[in-house]
Structure 1
Amino acid sequence: MEGEQLIENSRIIMEDIGDHITANCLAIAQIVIEMDEMARQVYNDTAFSKIQVAAELAVKNSSTVIPGVHVVAFDFISLSQEQQDDRLIYQLQLKAIHKTGIETQALYGISVAGLSLKEFIGSKGKVRIGAPQIIKSNSPYSTDKRMFPSGLTAAVVVCSDSISDGSKTDAAGKAIIAELEKYQIKVNHYQVIPDEKEIISQCATSLSKEHHLLIYTGGTGLSLRDVTPEALEPLIHRRIPGIEEAIRAYGQQRVPFAMLSRSLVGTIGNCLVMAIPGSTKGASESMKAVFPHLLHVFKILRGQTQH
């Protein structure tokens, strides 16, 4: 009880990124510094070498200084300079395979570079440090929304004997609907059916004609009644193994039994059909593994991309 109260009253100071996918992250920060004649005479390559070290240390230690900043294993840190008359331009470039953006670390590092220059010049000249800014960045969830089409409709089908006969209530299907609604996908159809191959196939045949996206949850395990993949595979026109692999890889990093899932993804006509686990956790994680980036498939199906 005390532990629950502590959690309830606690302040979240670091974003939970446990559900995020990892991707190639980039951040380039820039700062413009104005120096008078005396400062320019003092500034040299030795100073820049020290400032490079200071910027690198700042980036690597940003999580110990700024609350909420995650620890990042950086793959690349580079501070470059360009001199223009009485101006000095520093650019700090960071690269990492990470779950969230690295802009804060870049801004902190470039700020320390400017302050280190100020400290090096000291009273020997005048230095004016401009505002640090991000001039380029990307992260796993910064993808341009224009990559994803709008107006998509979906159907969600829950395959479960126990839920269909009323012994249990559905949570996985509701979790899928909640994820779809995050991306403005309208769920026009929600249905619970037993684990029967014929019923599963009939639903796929009819619903795939009326929706852009058809998601089955349940029946992807290894029990004798788990027949969703067997029911759908003969109907699939084109399998998409990459999406299946992404779902299993994401799950395997979190649950060692994810490798036992037989998730299936493919197209029936222009409808994308997915069969994912029936547990609430498995269904939710499967959605988080591939959304929103999976939505790009609809632009491909519509011929709206150039290759």
Structure 2
Amino acid sequence: MKNVGMKAESYRTAIATGILYAPAHCIELLRNGNTEKGDALKTARIAGILGAKRTDELIPLCHPLPIYRADIEYELRDTQVEIIATVETIGPTGVEMEALTAVSLAGLTLYDMLKPHCEPEDLCLDQVKLQKKKGGKSHFSRVLKESVATSIIVLSDTVASGKKPDTAGQNVLEILEEANFGPIAYQVLPDDPKQLLALIEQQKNQFAFILTVGGTGLGPKDLTVETLQPLLHREIPGLMEASRSFGQKRTPYAALSRGVAGYIDQSLVITLPGSRQGAQESLIAILPALVHLFDVQKNIPHVGGYQ
């Protein structure tokens, strides 16, 4: 199965349809609920809902999902019935297969309940297809329409001294490049509030987006939050709330992160944890919100001296 553990949950909907062709007298039996096996439309509706709920058991590589809504509707015509399935969830992956399974099971149930009333060649289940899906990356973009000048500031004594490589900042850089952020300035500083303040003063209004990596924990030198929070004239607490919530589903240590987000003058500043996993999870959790913010935000400052 595909690993969806690092995908953010979102509200997802899928609508699928299919057509069962049948003789006119069989369609009339459906209208009246008078097949020899009972009311076919009601029975098929239950079968379709059950199919949506058990798709992961029927299709080997489908993920199990909580189904918040599954419903079957019909449109009866002279010699055909259109089956419409709607499925909704909140999860890390979509419910397209659940909707398609619901249509298929409902259609097969109708086929089974009508076959005593006509010849086999008179019945045909056809055109099972997805009509619409909403949610996830198809609805909440993770790639900017236009690039945004960005600065990544890694705060670590050991990385700055060359004692260990920077993995967290480089991973953040890769994620942002894939999302069309750029040009991206990258710099490593020791855990020194004075140096951080000086660099922020230099970069604010030159870069629309500034990320710090490191210094959000509870160690004696974790002072990024204390250094930058007083400079924020408009905080966006929901961004870090989302990051911590996403992280806590993967490690309880995420609750210890004190990261903040907001504007310093015209630059959006976000503080990420210093661990590779923590920085990655935090950024993944808020990336759709960041993309939306920059796609709709006006007067984004242009990059200054950085080339």
TM, length-normalised to structure 2: 0.89
Task: State how 1:184-263 maps to structure 2 within 5 Å.
Answer: 184-263=180-259
Distance 1:146 1:25, change over 3 A: closer
1:42 aligned partner = 29
What's the secondary structure of 1:74's corresponding residue?
A: coil
- Confirm or deny that 1:32 pairs with 2:28: no
What's the secondary structure of 1:168's corresponding residue?
A: coil
Distance in 1 between the 2:78 and 2:266 partners? 59
What's the secondary structure of 1:141's corresponding residue?
A: helix
Structure 2 counterpart of 1:197, which letter? P
Structure 1 counterpart of 2:45, which letter? Q
1:87 aligned partner = 80
1:5 aligned partner = none
For the 8 Å contact 1:216–1:276, the answer to whether it is kept is yes
Cα offset, 1:127, TM superposition: 2.3
Number of residue-to-residue matches in the alignment: 291
1:20 aligned partner = 7
What's the secondary structure of 2:127's corresponding residue?
A: coil
- Confirm or deny that 1:153 pairs with 2:149: yes
Distance in 2 between the 1:73 and 1:188 partners? 39
Distance in 2 between the 1:156 and 1:147 partners? 18
TM, length-normalised to structure 1: 0.89
2:136 aligned partner = 140
Distance in 2 between the 1:136 and 1:189 partners? 40
2:275 aligned partner = 279
For the 8 Å contact 2:224–2:271, the answer to whether it is kept is yes
Structure 2 counterpart of 1:205, which letter? E
- Confirm or deny that 1:98 pairs with 2:91: yes
Distance in 1 between the 2:269 and 2:127 partners? 49
What's the secondary structure of 2:71's corresponding residue?
A: strand
Distance in 1 between the 2:272 and 2:142 partners? 27
Cα offset, 1:204, TM superposition: 1.4
Distance 1:142 1:53, change over 3 A: same
Distance 1:117 1:101, change over 3 A: same
Distance 1:116 1:303, change over 3 A: farther
Task: State how 1:122-141 maps to structure 2 within 5 Å.
Answer: 122-125=115-118, 126-141=122-137
Cα RMSD (Å): 1.9
Cα offset, 1:228, TM superposition: 0.7
Cα offset, 1:183, TM superposition: 0.8
Distance in 2 between the 1:15 and 1:48 partners? 36
What's the secondary structure of 2:226's corresponding residue?
A: helix
For the 8 Å contact 2:141–2:288, the answer to whether it is kept is no
Moved more, 103-112 or 40-49: 40-49
Q: Which runs of 5 or more residues in structure 1 are unaligned?
A: 1-13
Structure 1 counterpart of 2:214, which letter? G
Distance 1:277 1:83, change over 3 A: same
For the 8 Å contact 1:193–1:199, the answer to whether it is kept is yes
Deviations for 1:29-84, whole angstroms, at most 9, x for unmatched residues?
Answer: 11122221232243243111111121122112211121210101111111111212
Distance in 2 between the 1:216 and 1:228 partners? 8
- Confirm or deny that 1:112 pairs with 2:105: yes
2:305 aligned partner = none
What's the secondary structure of 2:253's corresponding residue?
A: helix
For the 8 Å contact 1:183–1:292, the answer to whether it is kept is no
Deviations for 1:98-136, whole angstroms, at most 9, x for unmatched residues?
Answer: 111100111111012112111111152322322112222
Moved more, 156-165 or 31-40: 31-40
In the TM superposition, structure 1's runs of 4+ consecutive aligned residues that sit over 3 Å from their partners are 144-149
What's the secondary structure of 1:49's corresponding residue?
A: helix
Cα offset, 1:145, TM superposition: 4.3
Q: Which runs of 5 or more residues in structure 2 are unaligned?
A: 34-38, 301-307
For the 8 Å contact 1:93–1:106, the answer to whether it is kept is yes
1:53 aligned partner = 46
